[in-house]
Structure 1
Amino acid sequence: MIRDFTTSVQETRPPQGKGTIEMTKPKVLISDALSPAAVQIFKDRGVEVDFQPNLGKDKEKLAEIIGNYDGLAIRSATKATAKLIEKATRLKVIGRAGIGVDNVEIPAATAKGIIVMNTPFGNSITTAEHAITLMLALAREIPQADASTQAGKWEKNRFMGVEITAKTLGVIGCGNIGTIVADRALGLRMKVIAFDPFLSPERAKDIGVEKVELDDLLKRADFITLHTPLTEKTRNVIDAAAIAKMKKGVRIINCARGGLVDEQALVDALNSKHVAGAAFDVFVEEPATSNVLFGHPNVICTPHLGASTTEAQENVALQVAEQMSDYLLSGAISNAVNFPSITAEEAPKLKPFIELAEKLGSFAGQLTESGILKTEITYEGHVAEMKIKAITSAVLSGLLRPMLGEINVVSAPVVAKERGMVVDEVVRAAQSDYESLITVTVTTERQERSVSGTVYADGKPRLVDIKGIRVDAEFGKSMIYVTNEDKPGFIGAFASLLGDAKINIATFHLGRVKQGGDAIALVEVDGAVPPELLAKVQTLPQVKQAKALTF
């Protein structure tokens, strides 16, 4: 159950007839090194603060005292594990000064009604500047030239660099950081091309970049910089095959996430001189005390310094102090990673519809392979009378997460706006057989797709319409979605493939537009769906599309 959103100022009531009500201040523990300015913000806002910057390293001591606090402000040293959270009997909010919350066990916090906040945009400028710095250093071989000169050598002819003026910079991932990188590169008189499925042509024009497909970017770019989260879709987005498509002499910069680039494939390309150089701030394994890239003469490495400036650390500290104070004093929630901005009174009614909305968005997002231009969410019946902004945020988080990974119900609207995605909300009276109905319509550069759902009396979300075809299906953990022609033999052939692959069917839902026309099959299965099985399903003569979905 989520804790009270409206206020966290506590009343201490004396025995009847003895004195008056005493209002006690909420109390926050800062267990990592945060700026003193953050401490002052808490104090100025009327929050009692206990500043112990080294406590996060002492798990036992932290566990002993955590039960005394309403809020916990941390950076990366403190590990908010399930065991620690279990002892945090008063805790209402955990604030992470930074974007990553991998040191917080979010499911455990959510189960106890603890809001987990981060500061997703405080590091953007610093990280973008680091990427530009590495690009310039790479172009002129600055670290190698410095080491050589300080060693007493004078090797002017050895370090023949390249200009960046008029060169083409390929930006993979044009969100907040990627956009800043593009802006700085344009100021350096570079041509900027960008690949981002969620970047609209209008937004690309506004920020001065040319939107391209990934293959086009790989072929044209002189420099390539990555600014995308690490997801299953982006893992090794730069692999041997991608490198083979690049022009000879390309230079690659990664300040985003380790794992976006196949490090061994990159080393091979550096050795063959196909790639002229690489500059990395992030690695597959960190801390990186050894790596295949280390020691290569054409590689520059830094120890994950993207957010390491005085200004960035100050910004995220101030932001987390403001956010936590707002929540503890007034119930306002911002940048929460585990719950939308709603009040305690609204939560019980909204919760099942938020779950439905996120799953509808995820359904559409997992089927979307091209850039999204517009998302329309239609609310009919009782749900139209609720706080739909929170539900819309849930739709967008589900929609964007399959491609962008680190998206939550708070950041999703910001991310959608950054990419120029049009988001429309339509509210109307019930026009169907359902008391409440949510319809998500996604318009991409290639097609339009709609999916509708409702919540039954049992509180479980249901799919009731896919592309105009009536269904009645629960969201299973693992599902197969097939679009096909309504012809005899499909069901038998499809089921046989599942049986041969030892895949057990939990539920099987069918729908069609008309006899012999377009049809769909939505099948819940036990366990993950092997890619080779999907490939076989795709070869069936009646099948148009086959996708594995997870919820």
Structure 2
Amino acid sequence: MEKKKIVVCDHIHEKGLEILKNEQDIEVVNAADVPKGESLYKVVSDADIVITRSPTPVDEPFLEAAKNLKAIVRAGVGVDNVDIDGCSRRGIIVMNVPTANTIAAVELTMAHMLSCVRSFPYAHNQLKLERIWKRENWLGTELKGKKLGIIGFGNIGSRVGIRAKAFEMDVITYDPYIPPEKATDLGIKYTTNFDDILACDIITIHTPKNKETINMIDRDEIAKMKDGVILINCARGGLYNEEALYEGLKSGKIRFAGIDVFAKEPATDNKLLELDNIIVTPHLGANTIESQEKIATQAAQAAIEAARGSSYPNALNLPIKEDEIPPFVRPYLELSQKIGFLAAQVNKGAFKSIKVVTEGEIGEYLKSLTTFVVVGALKESLGEAVNYVNAEFVAKERGIDIINKTQPNTSGYKNKITVKLTTDKDVIEISGTIFEESVQRIVEINNFAIDVEPKGKMILFKNTDVPGVIGQVGMILAKHNINIADFRLGRDQHGQALAVIIVDDDVSKETLKELSNLEACISVHYAIL
């Protein structure tokens, strides 16, 4: 019997190693103590599967060395150290272990919350290190009756809410990507107005890190908060702007902060450490015995299943196999995901349904196309939590209807895919096709005929079709030093027009607000593909 070789590149709990060693068809190599670089490259040169953690960079040199690699298991949630695109090009499946540390992260959040209201670390240090007994220095507050704002109500945020309710806190959550009943069924208030969160006594964030959530709490948001607010971040570094956080803590606007994660780690020289109203931990979200054991055992099991080819739990990418997918289908898969991603950026809200309709022979691959659409749509809000394996399950769990069908080809295009995304706010329908061999094009948005490449930074500007609008839009963009790379216009029979403007520069909220204030403007959205 030929054994599959699994190399463990970093330290994992012994239980995980035991699982691997007990499999007769698996050869396990524990390379956790092998120096990174050339020494490790020799070990992984004939590996079928590798298990890694954050210390091992799975970059181009690593992948170039691991010629036989079929799959990578990241023992944990974050995959910042893995070149996923590089893996995909080589047909290597990347998996992670996304839920093993849920309870650990939840309890750490509560620990930070309690530490902030009672100053436990500082009181401890004064007594233990300085041998000073001054109870009057440490007058705290109680969690009971305080209003807690939770940003992001997924696996971790929702469990924080449940525990906060047990402390008799008044809990409210902001998460535009969940149905309100997910919160209200737990006795937790749900809001679509972010200012409701900013008015809370304590705020904690539990979102993925993406373009929408980076610097989600910045100077403007802190200015709106009540004096003496407490901020907690045990999710991802960079969700709070650290400069703004520092200023808020320094001025006393923010009474206390509990921070486990930083924009740059290790954060030994971060100036936040200078302050005496912040409680910090060195990214301990997953650091419990139970969590580490779960991570190791789940990673080991995933590696074994991948080695045998039986399944790829929590796969973050999907290699295209030459013998299963015709070449003409590949660009449609990519286009489908882009359309789903674009639709979710334009039509923000709690998803109700995702409908995928195909015309032409591409319809034979409707199921695969639907999976890519759903991944694209959910990536906007869930980031790494959604993948090609769990996409439709995650959608179902969130009460999202997935509808797909083929229909006769009446559009004039050889093949066409249409995605209709319905949220509690609006409906958007986007169609696309492929020209020549792989030229991707969006050809219709909400019945406006358009011809635009789904790539880059784009403004979608809908307006009443009157003279002078294009000039006004151009002037506003010029005022903000935003260069227009492409401008595509669609018109309908009802006196309305839709412009898709491709720009070279980032577009600020201020710019979008100015555009929305134009008299002819019906709606304006910004998306990045």
Would you say same fold, with TM above 0.5? Answer: yes
Residue number in structure 2 paired with 1:153: 132
Do the aligned partners of residues 319 and 156 (structure 1) sit closer, same or farther apart at CA in structure 2, a change above 3 Å counting?
same
For residue 239 of structure 1, what is the aligned residue in structure 2? 218
Deviation at 1:308, TM superposition (A): 0.7
In 2: Cα distance, 1:504 partner to 1:242 partner: 30
- Pairs within 5 Å for 1:527-546: 527-528=504-505, 530-531=507-508, 541-546=519-524
Quick one: structure 1 residues 165 and 393, their matched pair in 2 at CA, closer, same or farther if it must change by over 3 Å? farther
Aligned residue identity for 1:141:
S
Given that 2:457 and 2:527 are in contact with CA atoms closer than 8 Å, whether structure 1 keeps it comes out as yes
Q: Deviation string for 1:38-62 (max 9, x for gaps)?
A: 233334442211112212x331111
**Paired position in structure 2 for 1:215:** 195
Structure 1: unaligned runs, 5 residues or longer = 1-22
Local SS of the residue matching 1:134:
helix
Is 1:73 the counterpart of 2:51 in the alignment?
yes
Would the aligned equivalents of 1:199 and 1:211 in 2 still touch at CA under 8 Å?
no
Aligned length: 522
In the alignment, what sits opposite 2:12? Answer: 34
What is the CA–CA distance in structure 2 between the aligned matches of 1:348 and 1:327, rounded to whole Å?
25
What amino acid is the match of 2:102?
S
2:260 — aligned with what? 281
The question of 1:483 aligning with 2:471 is answered: no
Distance in 1 (alpha carbons) for counterparts of 2:314 and 2:349: 28
Within the candidate set 101, 115, 123, 1:137 is matched to 115
Structure 2: distance between partners of 1:493 and 1:169: 43
Q: Kindly provide the CA deviation profile for residues 369-409 of structure 1, in whole angstroms up to 9, marking residues without a partner as x.
A: 44434333334554444361x43332233223344544553
Superposition CA RMSD, Å: 2.9
Q: Is the 8 A contact 1:231 1:404 kept in 2?
A: no
Equivalent residues of 1:334, 1:341 under 8 A apart: no
Distance change >3 Å, CA 129–CA 157, structure 1 → 2: same
Structure-2 change in CA distance of 1:88 and 1:377 (3 Å):
same
**Change beyond 3 A, Cα 1:293–1:473:** closer
1:104 paired residue number: 82
Question: CA separation of 1:504/1:133 partners in 2, compared to 1, >3 Å: closer, same or farther?
Answer: closer
Deviation at residue 524 of structure 1 after TM alignment: 4.2
Measured after TM superposition, the shift of residue 535 of structure 1 is: 6.4
Q: Measured at CA, do residues 243 and 490 of structure 1 come closer, stay the same or move farther in structure 2, by a change above 3 Å?
A: closer
User: How far off is 1:448 after superposition?
Assistant: 1.6
Determine the structure 2 residue equivalent to 1:19: none
Contact residue 167 and residue 190 of structure 1 kept, 8 A: yes
Gaps of 5+ in 2: none
In 2, Cα distance between the equivalents of 1:269 and 1:504?
37
Please give the alpha-carbon distance, in whole angstroms, between the structure 1 residues aligned to 2:260 and 2:293. 21
Shift of 1:539: 5.9
Q: 1:429 is aligned with what amino acid?
A: Q
**Contact in 1 for aligned 2:92/2:319 (Cα 8 Å):** no
User: Any conservation in 1 of the 2:118–2:140 contact (CA below 8 Å)?
Assistant: yes
Work out which of the residue numbers 32, 35, 51 in structure 2 matches 1:53: 32
Q: How far apart, CA to CA, are the structure 1 residues paired with 2:149 and 2:515?
A: 36
Which structure 1 residue ranges, 4+ long, deviate > 6 Å from structure 2?
340-343, 495-500
Please list, as runs of the form range in 1=range in 2, the aligned pairs for 1:29-428 lying within 5 A after superposition.
Answer: 29-45=7-23, 46-55=25-34, 57-150=35-128, 151-212=130-191, 213-219=193-199, 221-339=200-318, 345-346=324-325, 350-386=329-365, 388=367, 390-406=368-384, 408-410=386-388, 412-413=391-392, 416=395, 420-428=398-406
In 2: Cα distance, 1:492 partner to 1:249 partner:
46
Q: Which amino acid in the other structure matches residue 545 of structure 1?
A: S
Q: Which aligned pairs between 1:396-475 and structure 2 lie closer than 5 A?
A: 396-406=374-384, 408-410=386-388, 412-413=391-392, 416=395, 420-430=398-408, 432-433=410-411, 434=413, 436-456=415-435, 458-475=437-454
Is residue 513 of structure 1 aligned with residue 492 of structure 2?
A: yes
What residue in structure 1 maps to residue 483 of structure 2? Answer: 503
Q: Percent identity?
A: 36
Question: Alpha-carbon deviation of 1:233?
Answer: 2.2
User: In the aligned structure 1, how far is the partner of 2:299 from the partner of 2:326?
Assistant: 24
Give, in angstroms, the shift of residue 341 of structure 1. Answer: 9.8
SS of 1:294 mapped into structure 2:
helix
1:49 partner letter = V
Q: 1:92 Cα shift? A: 1.0
One-letter code of the match for 1:83? P
